[in-house]
Structure 1
Amino acid sequence: MRILIERSNLLKTLAHVHRVVERRNTIPILSNVLLRTDEGVLRLKATDLDLEITETVPAEAEQPGGTTVPAHLLYDIVRKLPEGSEVRLSTGGDGGQMTVSAGRVNFRLQCLPEADFPDITAGEFSHRFTMPGADLLRLIEKTQFAISTEETRYYLNGIFLHALESEGELRLRAVATDGHRLARAEIAAPAGSEGMPGIIVPRKTVGELQKLLGDAEGDITVELSDSKIRFAIGEILLTSKLIDGTFPDYQRVIPQNNDKALTLDRQSFSAAVDRVSTISSERGRAVKLALSNGQLTLTVNSPDSGTATEELPVGYDADDLEIGFNARYLLDISGQLAGEETVFMLADPGSPTLIRDQGDAGTLYVLMPMRV
C-alpha cells in the first residue's frame, strides 16, 4: 500500500473516526483504524464492536492495499505534522509496519492485519429514508440531556426514536428519560419512515451523531432494522447496534390534568435559578418555588452555606403552591427552550410538572418534583 494525501484532509477524517476507538481495549485490533486505498480514495474505518464509522477521502493512490494502525497514535502524529504538508503512507511487502512521512519527518508504526478487523455492518436494513440533517440534529439536541447514565436500567441509556400518528399526521418522535425528567421532541415524519420499528439509539452513538451533524449540511440517509441503524452523512457512514430492550410507556408519565398554569420569562427564570443555586451543595441541589398571585419566590437553603431568595413577577392566578425541583434539571430544560415565554403546568407538590415551549409546539418536558 502506498498513498499520498493532503494533511488537512487526513486530519479532518481521522478527527471523525478516531473518536469511536476506546482508549483502553482488551482486543488489540479494536485500538486500530483500518486504512484501505482504492483508485483515487482512502477509506478509513474504526469500531468498538457496537459502533462503526467509515469515511472516504480523496487521495493519490500509488499502490492499492490495506492495513490497520493504532488510531489515536496516527491522529496525534498527523495533528503535529507541518500545516500544508503532503503525507505519504506506505507499507512494506510483509505489511508489518507502516511508514508515515511528510517532508523530513518519518514515523514507522506497527500494523495488524486488515483481515483481523471486525465488520458489524452485515445484515439487511428493512427501512430507509432521507431527511434534513438539521431536523435530526434538532431532535437529538432537544432530548439528549435527559438520557439516563444508570447502567442497570440500560434501556434508558439512549434516545427512543419512533414514528406514530398524531392529530391525523405521521410524526417522527424522539424521547429520552432518566426517571427524574423526560424530554420529548417531534417533527413531521420523513417519507419512508412509515412502519419503522421503535428503536433505542445508544448514548455514545447519539454523541457522535451530534458532532457529525453539527458539521454537515443538507440531507442525510437513515437505514434501520430491529438491531442496527446506519446514517449516511456526506462521505461518512455511521453504523450502530441498537439497545436491545423495551423502552417504557412514557405516555403514562406525561400529566394530562395539571390545571395550574405558570407563565414566565425564560431568560429571567434561568438567570434567577442559576443565581440562587450558587450556594446549593452538589448533594442537594433543590430549589423551592413558592407561587402566589402574580409572583414567584425562588429559595435555596444550604446547611453549610446559608440561604438565597429571589422574587420574579410571573403569570399565575391559581391557588398558592410550594414545589421543589433540582436546579440543574431546571437549567437543563430551560437551556433547550426556544420561546421567550415558558409555561409550567402544575398540579401539587408531589406530582410531575409539564413544561411547554411557547416557541416550539413539537417539544415538551416533564419534571419530577423534589421534597424541600
Structure 2
Amino acid sequence: MRLVIERGELLRALGHVTSVVERRTTIPILSNVLIRASGQTLELKATDLEREVTEEVKAEVGAAGAVTVPAHILHDIVRKLPEGSQVDIRRDAEKERLTLAAGQARFALQTLGPEDFPDLAAGELGHSFAVLAKDLKRLIDKTRFAISTEETRYYLNGIFLHIADAGNGPTLRAVATDGHRLAQAELTRPAGAEGMPGVIIPRKTVHELQRLIEDSAETVSVAVSPAKVRFEIGSVTLTSKLIDGTFPDYGRVIPQNNDKELRVENAAFISAVDRVSTIASERGRAVKLNLAKDKLVLSVNNPEGGSATEELAVTYSASPLEIGFNAKYLLDIAGQLEGDEARFLLADPGSPTMIRDAEDEAALYVLMPMRV
C-alpha cells in the first residue's frame, strides 16, 4: 500500500474516527484504526464494538491495500506535522510496519492485519429517511441533557427516537428522561420514516453524533433497524448498536390538567435562579418558588450556608402556590428555551410541572418537584 495525502485532510478525518477508540482496551485491534486505500480514496474506520465511524477522503493512491495501526498515536503524529505538508504513507509488508514521511520527519508504526478488524456496519437496515443536520441537531440539543447516567436503569441511558402522532400530524419525536425531568422535541415526520421501530440511541452515540453534525449544513441520511442505527453525514458514516430495552410509557408522566399558568421573562428567571442557588447546598440544590398574583419569590435556605431571596414580576393569576425544584434541573431546562418567555403549567407542590417555550410548541419539558 502506498499513498500521498494532504496533512489537513488526514487530520480532519482522523479526528472524526478516532474519537470512538477507547484509550484502554483488552482487545489490541480495537486500539487501531483501519486504513484502506483504493482508487483515489483513503477510507478510515474505527470502532469500540458498540459504535463505528468511517470516513472517506481523497488521496493519491499509488498502490491499493489495507492495514491497521494504533489510532491515537497516528492522530498525534499527524497533528504535530507541519501545516500544509504532504504525508507519504507506505506499508512495509515484510517488516509489518507502516511508514509515514512528511518533510524531514519519518515515523514507523507497528501494524495488525485488517482481516480481524470488526465490521459493525454489515447487514440491512430496514427503514431509511433524510433529515436536515440542523433539525437533527435540534432534537439532540433539546433532549440530551435529560439522559440518565444511572446504569441500573440502562433503558434510560439514551434518547428514545420514534414516530408519534401529534395533534397536527405524525412526527419524528425524541424523548429523554432520568426520572427527575423529561425532555421531548419533535419535527414533522420525514418521508420514509413511517413504520420505523422506536429505538433508544445510546448516550455515547448521541454525543458522537452531536459532535459530527455540530457545524454541518448537510442533509443526514438515517437508517434504522431494531438493533442498529446508521447516520451518514457527507463523507462520514456513524453506525451504532441500540440499547436493547423498552423505553417507559413517558406519556403517563406528562401532566394534562395543570391549570395554574406562570409566565416569566426567561433571561431574568435564569439569572435569578442562578443567583439564589449560590447559597444552596451541593447535595440538595433546592430552590423554592413562592407564587402569588403577578409575583414570584425565589428563595433558598441552607442551614450551613445562609439564605437568599429574589423577587420577580411575572404573569400569574391562579391561587398562591409554594413549590420546590432542583436548581440545576431548572437551569438546564430554562437554558433550552429559545423564546423570551417561559411558560410553567403547575398543579400542586407534589405533582410534576410542565415547562413550555413560548416560541417553540414542538418542545416540552416536565420537571418533578422537590420537598423544601
| TM more than 0.5 | yes
- Secondary structure of the corresponding residue to residue 79 of structure 2: helix
273-282 vs 16-25, which deviates more?
Answer: 273-282
- Aligned partners of 1:94 and 1:241: how far apart in 2? 37
**2:60 aligns to what?**
60
92-101 vs 148-157, which deviates more?
Answer: 92-101
Over 3 Å counting, the alpha-carbon distance change for 1:99 and 1:278 in structure 2 is same
**1:303 aligns to what?**
303
What 5-or-longer segments of structure 1 have no aligned partner?
Answer: none
Q: Which amino acid aligns with 1:371?
A: R
Q: CA deviation at 1:272?
A: 0.4
CA contact (8 A) 1:165 1:171 kept: yes
Describe the superposition over 1:99-126 as per-residue Cα deviations: whole angstroms up to 9, x where unpaired. 1111111111111111110011122111
The percentage of aligned residue pairs carrying the same residue is 62
What 5-or-longer segments of structure 2 have no aligned partner?
Answer: none
**2:103 aligns to what?**
103
Q: 1:36 and 2:36 equivalent?
A: yes
Describe the superposition over 1:224-252 as per-residue Cα deviations: whole angstroms up to 9, x where unpaired. 10000101100011100010000000000
Describe the superposition over 1:73-102 as per-residue Cα deviations: whole angstroms up to 9, x where unpaired. 111111111111111111112361111111
279-288 vs 36-45, which deviates more?
Answer: 279-288
**1:26 aligns to what?**
26
95-104 vs 252-261, which deviates more?
Answer: 95-104
- Secondary structure of the corresponding residue to residue 350 of structure 2: coil
CA contact (8 A) 1:255 1:353 kept: yes
- Secondary structure of the corresponding residue to residue 122 of structure 1: coil
Q: CA deviation at 1:43?
A: 0.3
**1:205 aligns to what?**
205
Describe the superposition over 1:266-290 as per-residue Cα deviations: whole angstroms up to 9, x where unpaired. 0000010011111222211000111
- Secondary structure of the corresponding residue to residue 280 of structure 1: coil
CA contact (8 A) 1:128 1:193 kept: yes
CA contact (8 A) 1:67 1:95 kept: no
After TM superposition, the structure 1 = structure 2 runs for residues 241-256 of structure 1, keeping only pairs within 5 Å, are 241-256=241-256
**1:230 aligns to what?**
230
Describe the superposition over 1:32-73 as per-residue Cα deviations: whole angstroms up to 9, x where unpaired. 100000111110000000100000001111111111111111
Paired positions, count: 372
- Aligned partners of 1:279 and 1:21: how far apart in 2? 41
**2:51 aligns to what?**
51
**2:330 aligns to what?**
330
167-176 vs 134-143, which deviates more?
Answer: 167-176
Q: Which amino acid aligns with 2:226?
A: D
- Aligned partners of 2:81 and 2:236: how far apart in 1? 24
CA contact (8 A) 1:95 1:111 kept: no
CA contact (8 A) 1:260 1:345 kept: yes
Q: Which amino acid aligns with 2:28?
A: P
- Aligned partners of 2:294 and 2:42: how far apart in 1? 64
